[in-house]
Chains A and B, each alone.
Chain A
Amino acid sequence: MTTLVLIEAEGAAIKKASLSAVAAARAFGAVDVLLIGAHGAQEAARIEGVTRVLHADSTPHLAESIAALIADRASDYDHIVSAATAYGKNVLPRVAGLLDVQPITEVVEIIDANTFVRPIYAGSALSTVRSRDAIKVLTVRNANFDAASLSDAAPAPVEAISAAVEVPDAEYVGIELTHSDRPELESARVVISGGRGLKDAANFKLLEPVADKLGAAIGASRAAVDAGFAPNEMQVGQTGKIVAPELYIAVGLSGAIQHLAGMKDSRVIVAVNMDPEAPIFSVADYGLVGDLFEVLPQLKAELGA
C-alpha cells in the first residue's frame, strides 16, 4: 500500500513544509503526492521518494473540493498525510470526516505505521496514540521532520486528475498576503525576541535590523509586554503565542518558565544575556554572555558579511 501526501506549491516551488511531510511519510513506504493548482508539478516530480504526482490543476484551493478529491481516491492508500500548516489543517480533518476516520494532527514523531506522538495542552505533554482506523489521516509538524531533498535522477510521473464529485457550495474569493516584510510569529522560520533587558520600547527597534537580515519575526517576553516595551500580540509564552521556529534568538530575556513554555520546541535556541545565571541559558543551544547593546550591532554586521 501507498501513502498519499497533500503538498503545496508557492509559485513553481514546493513548500518546505510539504517536503518535510513527504520525508515523514516515507516511513510508511511508497509515496504519491497530490498537488492542487497550476504550478509546481515539475518540482513535485523531483521530490526524492515520490513515486507518482497527482496533479489537479483546475481544482480550487477549497477544503470542500480538495477533501472530496482525496476521499475519492482514499481506498488506494493506507495513510493520508499533509504538513500541519493552515492549509493542511483545513483540509485533512475534513477528509477524515468524509472517510469516518479520527484524524491525528500535529504529529511530531512516527513510532510505527499505526502509532504516533503528538503534543497536547500546548506542548505541556506528549501523547502517544495508536490508531485503530484502516486509513490513517495525519498532519505532521514540519519542524520535527527533515525536508525531503529534490533530485533530477528520475522524475516521478505526473498524472493529471480532475474532480468529478459534487461538493458543497463554496467560493474562493482570494488571498491577501500579509504585506509586512516580517513573517508572522507562529509561522516564521526565525524568531528574535526581546525581554526587559532592552530597557525601553524605543530599544526594541534594535532587534529590527537583525530580524531583517534573518527574515525573522519579532517576539517579546511577558515581562517586556508588561513593562510596556512591546504590544501584547508580540508576546511569546504560555499566555501568548507558542512558537517553534528553526531558530529562536532570545535577547535580554531571563527565560521565565512561562516564556520557555512558548518557545522550547524551537529547533535551535540562542540566548544573549548579561546575566550568566539567567535560566534562558539552561535551554539555549548557544549562549552568549554579553551586553545586548553591543551584541546586536555586531550580530547585524556579522550576518551582513
Chain B
Amino acid sequence: MINLIPTKRTLNCNGVNKEVHLLKLNPIHPMEFETVKKLIVERTTLSEFEVGFVLGELSTIIIENLQQGRGVRLENLGTFEPSLKATAMDSAEELNLNTVKKVSIIYKPSPTIKKALKKLKMRINRK
C-alpha cells in the first residue's frame, strides 16, 4: 500500500499565480544496495560475492554500451536507452556538437513492472 499526502503548490500559469492541491508520495528512504544483495542471496543459491559481482558487471556493461549509443534490455527490469537533448536550428548545416545540450538515459520499465504499477494500491493520509 502506497501512502499519499495532500500538499499545496503555487503554480504560475501565463503569469498568473494559482494555488492547487496535489497528492505526493509520503517520502521513504530507498532500499539500499546491501539490503538488495542480501535479499537476492536469500532467494537464490548464489553467494553475496556472486550477486555483488553480477550487479557490478551489469552496471559496467550498461555504462559501456550507453557510452557507445547502444541501448540495453534487461529481462523483467526494462530497457535503458541513450537520449540527446539539443537546440533546434533553422538549417541542417548549422547542426554540430555545440547544439547538443545534454546526453541522458531513458528508462522504460518492462511489461512485468508496468503491470505491477497498474495494480498498485494507494491511500491518502490526511493527518
Do chains A and B interact in one complex? no
